[in-house]
Amino acid sequence: MDDTKGIATHIPQLRRYARALTGDYSAAEDLVQDTLERAWKRFGLWRSGSNLRAWLFTIMHNIFLNQVRTAPHNQNQPADHLAPHGWGSRTPEERLELEDLSKALRRLPNEQREVILLIGLEQLSYDETAKVLGIPIGTVMSRLSRGREQLRTIMNSTSGASQLKVVK
């Protein structure tokens, strides 16, 4: 039972990923809660010495996928609960950029957003990402490539600092 404490060290990262994935504060906290409960319950199935972080992300992915399947209309809502921590110190251009990205992220298909976040934000390796999502690495790369390009297109087409940036 002591070993389950190892899970706790990954909570901040699980929360960050959940927040970025759902774009909603309470949905994200619920997702973390469900993930932790399942992890505690199934801890006996985790093979000691293997990648605990990847195992936890796998659990979170499966729960998220299940939620999306059962309640697809709740997804891709506008990100209105993303608390703008420390935004006071940012310039208006920077804030616009962050808002643009936040909105663009919500417009991506879940499968592309997951890959972009696991790699770009959580810095998982391409291999780990493939294992977490249960897909071949080739699929990871094509989702990453398409997702990033789509994100760029969306951000370039929205008014805001990002467009100014390109002109500059």
Which stretch, 28-36, 51-59, 62-70, contacts another protein (CB under 8 A)?
28-36
Q: Which residue from 59, 17, 67, 3 is spatially nearest to 36, judged by alpha carbons?
A: 59
Residues 9/30, Cβ–Cβ less than 8 Å? no
Q: Which is nearer to another protein, 11 or 164 (CB)?
A: 11
- Residue 152 interacting with another protein (CB under 8 A): yes
Cα-to-chain-centroid distance, residue 47: 25
Whole-angstrom Cα distance, residue 155 to residue 147?
A: 12
Query: What letter does residue 136 receive in the DSSP assignment?
Result: -
Q: Which is nearer to another protein, 72 or 77 (CB)?
A: 77
Give the relative orientation of helices 52-70 and 25-41 as an angle to the nearest 10 degrees: 120
157 binds another protein (CB under 8 A): no
33 forms part of the interface with another protein (CB under 8 A):
yes
**132 counts as binding another protein under rule CB under 8 A:** no
132 phi and psi, to 5 degrees? -60, -45
Q: How many residues bind another protein (CB under 8 A)?
A: 48
Question: Binding of another protein at residue 16 (CB under 8 A)?
Answer: yes
d(CA 114, CA 63): 13
Residue numbers of the site for another protein (CB under 8 A)?
1-2, 4-5, 7-8, 11-13, 15-16, 19-20, 32-33, 36-37, 40-44, 48, 82-83, 85-86, 94, 97-98, 101-102, 116-117, 119-121, 123, 125-126, 141, 144-145, 148-149, 151-152, 155
